[in-house]
Amino acid sequence: MQDIFASRLFSSRRGTALLGLAAAVLAGVVLLVYLNSYRSSVRSTNEPVTVLVARNLIEKGTSGNEVASKQLYQAAEVAKDEIKVGALTDSSALRGTIAAVDVYPGQQLTSTDFTVQAVDSIPITLQGNERGISLALDETHGITGPLHAGDHVDVWAAGVDDGVPLTLLLADVTVLSAPATPTGGGGANVVLQVNWWDVPRIASTFDNGTLWLILRPQSGAKPTRPPSELTRPLYLGTKGG
């Protein structure tokens, strides 16, 4: 019965037209599905991704911490097909690294641009009046555990003025080198970037008083304003015997 119906359908003009129309509708549906899938694929390919891009020149040897603290980068949306291999999307990936090459403004930061920083290395190149002073810190002098190369600290001193418990020697000082933990004997060398005329004050205070290195925020730190007086001896460190 079905064979007879099909035979009559194909033998009539109306049947042929209906079959042709059905085939055209089916082809149209398939085409629409394909086009929608293609558009989705194109949108997915070109969908922007947020990556880190150099805001200023990042010279070879600059620590990743310095890049983050000085905000030498900015977040930018880049199409997927324009993203470089290993492009960084999170600034936390910069910690503990050092720039292996010069990275120019507008260039994407990639994992190949930065390499793991060697322990106790000094990644920042000193220029002009800048000097690096090494301080052997222990339990009495300052802090060591939280410090990393590229961090910024305020340098406070105790014992330099009998009338003032604590004195602000320098604010916003860059840490050039700092081990993650103290070395044998309870001491650890921390290298600070200072101007040459600040060296005598720091060296003298280190020998005759107590230095405290106070860690600053990596970004957005407000200026340090020393209080006119400190009435709570709790802020004082204890000198070693």
Q: Which residue has the higher pLDDT, 17 or 120?
A: 17
Mapped onto helix, strand or coil, the DSSP state of residue 199 is helix
pLDDT of residue 150: 79
57/152 same-domain check: no
CB 51 within 8 A of CB 44: no
Does 227 lie in the same domain as 148? yes
Do 174 and 187 fall into the same domain? yes
Last residue in a domain, options 31, 46, 61: 46
In a domain, 85, yes or no: yes
More confidently predicted of 221 and 230: 221
Q: What is the pLDDT at residue 125?
A: 63
User: Quick one: CA torsion of 129, 104, 113, 116, rounded to 10 degrees?
Assistant: 20
Domain boundary among 61, 84, 116: 116
pLDDT in tens, 197-226: 999 988 888 888 788 888 888 777 788 876
What does the pLDDT look like over 82-118, one tens digit per residue? 888 888 988 888 887 888 888 999 999 998 998 886 6
C-alpha distances in Å from residue 158, one per residue of 78, 111, 144: 51, 43, 18
**Are 39 and 57 contained in the same domain?**
no
In degrees, rounded to 5, the angle at the alpha carbon of residue 200 between the alpha carbons of residues 196 and 206 is 125
Which segments of the chain are extended strands (E)?
A: 48-54, 73-79, 97-99, 114-116, 130-137, 152-158, 166-177, 188-195, 210-215
Asked whether residue 81 is assigned to any structural domain, the reply reads yes
Note whether 136 and 65 are same-domain residues.
Answer: no
- What residues have CB less than 8 Å from 118, skipping those under 6 apart? none
For the ranges 3-7, 39-43, 112-116, 175-179, the lowest mean pLDDT is seen at: 3-7
Domain match, 146 and 205 both? yes
User: Both 53 and 21 in a single domain?
Assistant: no
Q: What is the mean pLDDT of residues 21-46?
A: 66
Query: Is 87 inside a domain boundary?
Result: yes
Residue 158 lies in a domain: yes
The answer to whether residues 63 and 40 belong to one domain is: no
Give dist(CA 49, CA 83) in Å, integer. Answer: 8
Are 89 and 54 in the same domain?
yes
Note down the domain range covering 179. 130-235
DSSP per position, 43-68: HHHH-EEEEEEESS-B-TT-BHHHHH
